[in-house]
Chain A
Amino acid sequence: QQQVKQSPQSLIVQKGGISIINCAYENTAFDYFPWYQQFPGKGPALLIAIRPDVSEKKEGRFTISFNKSAKQFSLHIMDSQPGDSATYFCAACYTGGFKTIFGAGTRLFVKA
């Protein structure tokens, strides 16, 4: 019940295309869903996050879509650029829960 399942494991997208990464969770107590971006040799950095009271959040080219009833959320990267090539992790946690549960990660490669 504590797992967050992320797919796909890897993704290749043409420059200018849309990258879509999906995550699913079981624990309905989760109330914070962040996405992290990690470049090789660096630590993950917070990209965008959503709480379950909204169905969508957009920041620039990055959008989180959230489906509470299906217990799924996804990251959409519009107009994907080679500089977006990185590993992306979805995650989930809940207030007072002490732990953040991370997905296994998606390696994105954007072809120029």
Chain B
Amino acid sequence: DGGITQSPKYLFRKEGQNVTLSCEQNLNHDAMYWYRQDPGQGLRLIYYSQIVNDFQKGDIAEGYSVSREKKESFPLTVTSAQKNPTAFYLCASSMVAGGGPQHFGDGTRLSIL
């Protein structure tokens, strides 16, 4: 079955530590996205990528970094500069950027130790 796989499902971060969240898709989609979801605030865009080796900052990119070396993969690193990282992180993909549906993974819940 085609879809988006996020791992791990749960992740704990220590102070001063960088952590990386994995996102893999086998839908052959060009565009990929990372969202942060906090209770009552909907989905906020962290980064998006339209094609391999290209990515753009979203609305809340500070303290996060991404790479897009392969079409299928779009990992997100939460750096120690992100002072409030506790949230539910969602990865999504779409056939092209904008104008169509997005397919989401089942998320990674990140907590501070």
Give A contacts to B, CB under 8 Å: 6, 9, 31-32, 34, 36, 41-46, 49, 89, 93-100, 102-105
Contacts and interface: CB of A to CB of B under 8 A. Distances in A.
B41 A98 contact: no
Contacts of A96: 97-99
7 contacts: A46-B103, A94-B98, A96-B98, A98-B31, A102-B42, A104-B41, A105-B42
Nearest to A107: B40
Interface string B87-109: 00010100001111111111100
A108 B108 CA distance: 23
Contacts of B81: none
A93 B99 contact: yes
Chain B interface main SS type: loop
B74 interface: no
**Interface bracket on B:** 20 to 34
Instruction: Tell me the interface secondary structure of chain A in the complex.
Output: loop
Nearest to B9: A41
A100 B50 CA distance: 13
A107 B43 CA distance: 14
